[in-house]
Amino acid sequence: MDGKVIQIERNEQYEERHSLAVGRLRGIVTEETVPEKYVPYFQDTALFLLELENVRRKVASGEWERYSLEEMQSLNEILYSDILGERYGSSYANPAYAVEKLGMDMGRLLSLLYAEMRAGIPYSFEDRVDYLTILFELFIEVYNCFEDTSEGKEKTEEGDGAAAERTKQIRDIIYWYASDYCDVFLADRIKEQIDPERSFAADIVENADLENDRYLYRFGEYITQNELGTARHLRSLNKETIQRMADVYTEGYRIGFINTGKDLSKKSVVNIRYSLGFEKVIRAAIENFRKMGLKPVIYRAASSVITKREHHKIGYYGAVANWQYEYDHRQDQALFMDKRYIERRLEVMRTVYEQNRELAAQFAGPAVMETFGETPFSPKAVPEAPSYTDEQRELALQYDSRSGQLTNEYIKGEERSFTIVAYPVPEIGEKYPEIFDEVIKINTLDAKLYEKVQQTMIDALDQGEYVHVAGKGENHTDIRVRLHPLTDPEKETKFENCVADVNIPVGEVFTSPVLEGTSGVLHVSRVYLEGLEYKDLELVFQDGLIEDYRCGNFPDEEQGRRYVYDNILKNHKTLPLGEFAIGTNTTAYVAARKYGIENKMPILIAEKTGPHFAVGDTCYSWSEDIRVYNPSGKEIIAKDNSISLKRQEDVSKAYFNCHTDITVPYEELEEISVVTKEGKHIILLKDGKFVLPGTEILNEPLKGFTHSKEEIKCQK
């Protein structure tokens, strides 16, 4: 059935409940029937929810479409104002402020509740009467618990016993909300990922007037000069340039299937993920995909505690209004997660996939257009923010593992692929148009040239037992990466020759190392991973597994370890070295330093500008048994390690469901060499330059640049 028809029918089912809830919210705004310290919280939140209802009605009636650009911008600012800049310090969305005003336990719970109410912003723009009703009823149910006071009892204070009982009540309400409505929010989330009939965003992209900024505000996301500036810049580009950007993106996707021997003709759905502002390119890409027989699914990055994955943005989104807010609420599930809840989520997942088995089988995988250039974010440690207990961390890991297996059962890893490309946003600096043009150049470099040069490097690497990477100066990287042996060197190879397909731009050779014998220290002075900054990051490996780790982000060394544990190890006690690669894209490296944007480059490009080490799963996870060949015709045999091989006995022990690339920049390197069985050292890179015969052309972009630690600049 058509997605719009389904939504209309569901809205009608909720109509009466919705009307009653809105009426109750209007009463709460003026009432003072709860303990005094909670009155501002409930009144402010009720006002916010009524504003969401006001927006929904304007959208549903068509009044929104008659708004001027200025009116749209004003409303957009109002909806996100409570978490912007300094205002976040006095917002109930801030766990620290909520705890200060309402106490530790209750403050955390009510801050979570407030954040969940803020998840309703996009629901208003999608006219989701059903979703908004559920949120309104949750808020009212919590409010009623505070309102239920004994006659004549003071509303300013409560005894410890009463406060503890009320805290338990609120926790239980939130728990059962998350558990009961899994079969609404989580079920819909899964369907949004595979069903092109759920086309809210796709309809805007394909039908809106992209020459007018007003369309951006229809998504219900926060809009800043980044999104506006991107859309305006794309309008300044000629049609041929827009088409070239779209072609690089979609061709990378198509070629990824060919290079991995997967049959794209068996699929009919592609997931497009991007940041708002790029609609002109996405519209052209949709047309390209349709010619391949693929319909788009474009789903929003999750906003509910039930559906989001910590602070990660998976799907389309606008600006992030406040990264600290996202980070503070990344583990809100810690306030109610238990084993029963995890089992409930998995039960819903299986039911939805089973009911949509044929649709899931049509899913080809994601095509991702990332952005970069925003001011880098380094989070503050907020002790009031919820965090998982050790038991909950284990539950979260179990969920990731089992949900990954479940997804792979219905959307088979050996049948799907992906592609990723990245472009800058205006926040990158005043030379944004120039940088944008440079990135287009980087993303469209001559793949054939790189293929030839990288094959020369692979021929040398195939002779080795291990690769030795050594830092210089203050970088104390010193690690040996053990390589798989070749049974038939004439037909087999250890490294993949990566050109512009799934990972755009061109410029790396990579392998899955042998864990046993891979040992040493990986160190980088500064790196940005998944939007987070790491200073003086160090990982110590023993037989391919992380043995120790630290970073210099916080004065307290233990806080630094926790930061790495949460965000790189992803709550695992250890992770293997799943990938070792050598980036060869010196053009990207020089561009980053020419414009002083190396700290803003996404890992997608940064990983091509030096050797990189990925912790977690290998690049071939869930599809290790597919035979893959380089353009040379040789089969790539280094796809497994001793952990991924455990899938043959117990798949739950084979995967970690994470893969994080960490790059050491050229200027921090003394040497990369491959060591043969006979002890011969074949030097690939020396003092930041490629020295292997046949690869010297990679140094051309480096000419005229100095490798100073304080400054890398173009010499006149």
Q: How far is residue 86's CA from residue 326's CA, in Å, rounded to a whole number?
A: 15
pLDDT surpasses 90 at 387: yes
Q: What is the mean pLDDT of the chain?
A: 92
532-547 pLDDT, tens digit per residue, is 889 999 999 999 999 9
CA distances in angstroms from 27 to 24, 140, 143, listed in the order given: 5, 11, 12
What is the residue whose two structure tokens read 């014998």?
517
- For residue 705, what pLDDT is reported? 61
Average pLDDT over residues 578-590: 93
150-162 residue pLDDT tens: 443 444 455 667 7
- Mean pLDDT, residues 643-665: 92
* pLDDT, average across residues 21-48: 96
pLDDT for position 1 = 53
Nearest to 64 by CA among 74, 9, 4: 74
Average pLDDT over residues 258-278: 94
Q: Which helix (H) or strand (E) holds 673?
A: strand 669-676
Q: Is 300 helix (H, G, I), strand (E, B) or coil?
A: strand
For the residues 286-300, what does the mean pLDDT come to? 97
Q: What is the pLDDT of residues 12-21, one digit of tens each?
A: 888 999 999 9
Report pLDDT for 708.
43
Asked whether the predicted pLDDT for residue 714 surpasses 60, the reply is no
**What is the mean pLDDT of the segment spanning 461-487?**
96
pLDDT at 499 over 90: no
- Residue 339 has a pLDDT of 97
Q: Give the pLDDT of residue 151.
A: 41
For position 298, what pLDDT does the model report?
A: 98
List, for residues 602-646, the tens digit of each pLDDT value: 877 888 888 999 999 998 988 888 888 998 999 999 999 999 999
Query: Is residue 451's pLDDT more than 50?
Result: yes
The mean pLDDT value for 120-129 works out to 96
Q: 43-61, pLDDT tens digit by residue?
A: 999 999 999 999 999 999 9
The predicted structure's pLDDT at residue 713: 40
Mean pLDDT of 404-411: 94
Bridge-partner residues for 493, per DSSP? 636
Q: Summarize pLDDT for 165-208 with one digit per residue, the tens.
A: 999 999 999 999 999 999 999 999 999 999 999 999 999 999 99
> Does the pLDDT at position 253 exceed 90?
yes
Q: Give SS3 for 685.
A: strand
pLDDT for position 3: 61
DSSP 168-209: HHHHHHHHHHHHHTIIIIIHHHHHHHH-TT--HHHHHHHHS-
* pLDDT, tens only, 204-228: 999 999 999 999 999 999 999 999 9
Model confidence at 320: pLDDT above 80: yes
Can you give the pTM of this predicted structure? 0.87
Confidence of residue 581 (pLDDT cuts 50, 70, 90): very high
Q: What is the pLDDT of residue 261?
A: 84
Residue-wise burial string across 425-438, b where 16 or more C-beta atoms lie within 10 A, e elsewhere: bbbbeeebeebbeb
Name 480's bridge partners: 468, 519
Q: What percent of the chain has pLDDT over 90?
A: 80
Average pLDDT for residues 357-366, to the nearest whole number?
96
Radius of gyration, alpha carbons of the chain: 26
Q: Report the pLDDT averaged over residues 339-345.
A: 97
Work out the pLDDT band at 467, boundaries 50, 70, 90: very high
Q: Could you give the CA distance from residue 479 to residue 466 in angstroms, rounded to a whole number?
A: 10
**pLDDT tens digits for 103-121?**
999 999 999 999 999 999 9
**pLDDT number for residue 11:** 78
Q: What is the mean pLDDT of residues 26-48?
A: 96
pLDDT value of position 158: 58
